Chains A and B, each alone.
Chain A
Amino acid sequence: MTTDDAVATEQAPPPAPKKDEPGDSFLSHFVHNLWAANTFTVTVLSILLALLIGAVLIVVSDSAVLDTFGYFTARPSDALTASWNAVSTAYADLFKGAVFDPETVRTGTWREALAPISETLTYAAPLVFTGLSVAVAFRGGLFNIGGQGQAVIGTIAAAVAGFSFGLPIVLNLLVALIVGLAGGALWGFIPGILKARTGAHEVITTIMLNYTAGLFLTWLILQKGVQDPGRTDAISKAVAESAQLPSLGGALRVNLGIVLAVLVTAAVAWMLNRSAFGFELRAVGANPAAARTAGISVGRTYTLLMVVAGGLAGLGGATQVLGTAYSLTPAVAGNIGFDGLLVALLGRNRPWGTLLAAVLFGALRAGGNRMQSFSGISLELVTVLQALIVIFIAAPALVKTIFHLRAARSARLGASMAKGW
């Protein structure tokens, strides 16, 4: 009997630890996965690491702080305090410029309190479109480096439509947006059809079309009928007020563009997952041979996909010129096309992820402006931060090693990322 009991008690324990292990409740799952190498954790840690390296750069770039390191062994507290002060004010300004400045609660109006968010969203809106452009193309197996060129053509088309047609109020904006979209779509169609018909690699053709678009813009601005008659420098006429994206006014530059961006994100998400075309493009992106065998026309899908991607980037350009810039200048599209690549990467080529990534980039940009004027830290630091974040995201293995993350339960995302980027 006793031996039987002993056996029984010995056999009982093994199942017990299983119960202590994370069960199936949402919370325990969450906790378990938090320290696993899932995409979310890697993304957050990448941002943290980037900020950390950014802090070092802030210290190194400030000569006053560096001087205190000269006598570090004598009085280390000086160096540490100075470093801490430099870094903390810089990042505090970054936050205040991007999200919220507590000062404004006591002193300012609600408009001032909302200003940072407004700036963030203003910068984010065009990036959402260009990010989606890259993400959609990538899901279909194409690497659209041409977001910049497509966005430039989008700004040109939207601006020209905006100051030439003189249509009534709502219609004018609508037409300008559609023309901008069509311009970008055309610029996407060219590499698409070349890829489908001749197999020309889209990376090469889109890069070339970027140059073409940029140079076309600089030429066009100086032409009669486009250039602002009252100016001698390279700036075009402003788009009619009826074609501008309505904003909240005053210090709040945020405009309808961000609303449009959210709607388009939803539309793209629907297209990818629920539409016949989305199915085709995902099938072609994942396995063109199988798609072809199943009767899907790969060439047609590539062409259409580039038209859609170009249209999205064109819409991004249109938002830029109709929402904030109003006139064409050689740098009107800024870097939104190339930033779109980074945004898509950070957003893991998912529509909503891309939206969030664009907002983060917008926030860095908005905060960077304030950091530059208040803490005297160059706006370039923001570019460096963006680059660092992307480097860490692109090399998840690095982040995993640094933080000793467990392998994620589902390594699927990681695999799909490694494949393409």
Chain B
Amino acid sequence: MANDHIDLTVEPGEVHALLGENGAGKSTLMNQLYGLLQPDSGEIVVDGTPRTFRSPRDAIAAGIGMVHQHFMLVPVFTVAENIALGAEETRGGPLGWLDRRRSRRDVLETSQRYGLPVDPDALVENLPVGAQQRVEIVKALTRDVDLLILDEPTAVLTPQETEDLLAVMRGLAESGKSVVFITHKLKEVRAIADRITVIRRGRTVGTATPDTAEDELAALMVGRAVSLEVQKTPAEPGRPVLKLSGLIVEDDRGVRAVDGVDLVVHAGEVLGVAGVQGNGQTELVEAVLGLRPPRAGTIQVDNEDLVGMSTKRILRSGVGYVPEDRSTDGVVKEFTVAENLVLDMYDRAPYGNAFRLDARAIATSAAERIKQFDVRTPSADAAVGTLSGGNQQKVVVAREMSRPLRLFIAAQPTRGVDVGSVEFIHSRIVHERDVGTAVLVVSSELDEIIGLADRIAVMYRGRILAIVSPDTPREEIGLLMAGITDGSAAPEPGTPGAAEKGTT
């Protein structure tokens, strides 16, 4: 049961935050409201009349719109086409031709009215994530909705885009629309919400106002007191483990995504790579793992050259890797928890050999690690796809941390992970550092980097702009992330000698 007798009232013109961990039942609740799921009991009342929604069409007709966590857009269509999709304007009867001009006009009109700039003629696949989200919102608004549901809208946004989105939500509320804002991020909730409803394990556990303290909200959400600070002692850096020099890596389109990076990570320290998503962090990490051949430069772990080695050998040589996109690269959703826990060690003792697997050894170690890493799963034989995001991530972390490591690389280790699991994963990363592993953390969440890292490398357009201490003021790091060094303008990509202040 994902929802157990939840009551929720949303007033006109308010931003109502629905706060809860992943798997708490927020999305289930909203899918009922949007007609994607039917409630077993209870009723939905819109403007005083009880309604039943058999499909999203009914919900839209009743004035409810939804922007899903994963966008429902056709990548090869233009913005205007996507927005018209499902409510196409035609001329000459129902079998007439599409009235493209009118769709375009509608888009422009709505986008101006609510201050949501979108280009109606751009292809959706060419738009950055933040702009795609605006398209989704405009799409909902053109349907004339009174209530807009935003399901985890900020999970995919950069800090700046998040700011913009919050402003848009504020504007919508002021124009009399109601917004339901689903999230598990406390800062955003406190910044924007008029009222907060907290859901835990399918039940409403409380309502709060935005002036409630963050740790209080977190405690409500998780059901126990949580520490939002990463607890750690000062690092004791040892020998240099990972050495990158002159690394150049191209992305899928052949553009230089990593453009001459030199970096050293020492044993027993966490090096955080901060930067807005898409500045080469992904390619950097993939190059180290042998998933993407570098164009030039060297990658060494303990003086062993990794370039040209297979991913399997790199992993076996003592590199642990938590990929940034859990559902594509981290787990095989159809596989059981036990199988996922040995995904990169299935043919090594004690789990098996090149020929056969030892089911018993796999089961035994799975049981151990489920306990050790607190993976909430009905059993080791449950498909990983049925677990919540946080627990899936724990499976990945458990897998990568259960062999002797020299280097541990975590990309976006807590993306889409609930507060309780974040705390746990952070403590494991710090623990890994304390046992003398070199740790490289890549994250687009500045809080996470500042909390975890002993040194912070700021990456911008494929280069390391600076390496700073975590005590550096947030604003300064934020400016670096935007490519601004010492007040100068952002260096153009490819300009030789772009500021590399502090690069060791």
Within 8 A of B (CB), among A93-108: none
Cα A276 to Cα B356 with chains together (Å): 5
Residue from A274, A287, A412 with most neighbouring chain B CB atoms (10 Å) = A287
A contact residues around B332 at 8 Å (CB): 282-283, 286-287, 290-291
Question: Which single residue of chain A is at the shortest CB-CB distance from B348?
Answer: A276
A contact residues around B331 at 8 Å (CB): 287, 290
Which one of B315, B353, B355, B357 contacts A294 once the chains associate, using CB atoms below 8 Å?
B315
Within 8 A of B (CB), among A245-286: 274-277, 279-280, 282-283, 286
Cα A52 to Cα B423 with chains together (Å): 61
Cα A283 to Cα B321 with chains together (Å): 18
Question: Which single residue of chain B is at the shortest CB-CB distance from A270?
Answer: B356
Q: Mark B402-433, 1 if CB is under 8 A from A, else 0.
A: 00000000000000000000000000000000
Cα A275 to Cα B343 with chains together (Å): 13
Which one of B310, B312, B343, B383 contacts A283 once the chains associate, using CB atoms below 8 Å?
B343
Q: How many contacts between A and B, using CB within 8 angstroms? A: 73
A contact residues around B291 at 8 Å (CB): 292-293
Please give the number of chain B residues whose Cβ is less than 8 angstroms from any Cβ of chain A in the complex.
32
On whether the beta carbons of A292 and B311 are closer than 8 Å, the reply is yes
Chain A, interface SS category:
helix
Please tell me if B334 contacts chain A, counting CB pairs below 8 Å. Answer: yes
Please tell me if B376 contacts chain A, counting CB pairs below 8 Å. Answer: no
Cα A274 to Cα B339 with chains together (Å): 11
Which one of B323, B356, B359 contacts A293 once the chains associate, using CB atoms below 8 Å?
B323
Question: Which single residue of chain A is at the shortest CB-CB distance from B328?
Answer: A289
Residue from A277, A294, A296 with most neighbouring chain B CB atoms (10 Å) = A294
Please tell me if B211 contacts chain A, counting CB pairs below 8 Å. Answer: no
Smallest CB separation, A17 vs chain B (Å): 14
Please tell me if A373 contacts chain B, counting CB pairs below 8 Å. Answer: no
Residue from B311, B316, B321, B343 with most neighbouring chain A CB atoms (10 Å) = B343
Q: Mark B288-318, 1 if CB is under 8 A from A, else 0.
A: 0101000000000000000000111111100
With A283-B343, A290-B328 known as contacts, the answer to whether A276 contacts B354 (CB < 8 A) is yes
Cα A289 to Cα B332 with chains together (Å): 9
Which one of A274, A276, A291, A296 contacts B359 once the chains associate, using CB atoms below 8 Å?
A274
Cα A286 to Cα B339 with chains together (Å): 12
On whether the beta carbons of B329 and A293 are closer than 8 Å, the reply is yes
On whether the beta carbons of A290 and B357 are closer than 8 Å, the reply is no
A contact residues around B383 at 8 Å (CB): 412
Please tell me if B333 contacts chain A, counting CB pairs below 8 Å. Answer: yes
A contact residues around B359 at 8 Å (CB): 274
A contact residues around B357 at 8 Å (CB): 274-276, 279
A-B contact pairs, 14 of them (CB 8 A): A274-B357, A275-B356, A276-B347, A279-B352, A283-B335, A289-B328, A290-B329, A292-B291, A293-B321, A293-B330, A294-B311, A294-B343, A295-B310, A296-B344
- Residues of B at the A interface (CB closer than 8 Å) are 289, 291, 310-316, 321, 323, 328-335, 339, 343-344, 346-347, 352-357, 359, 383
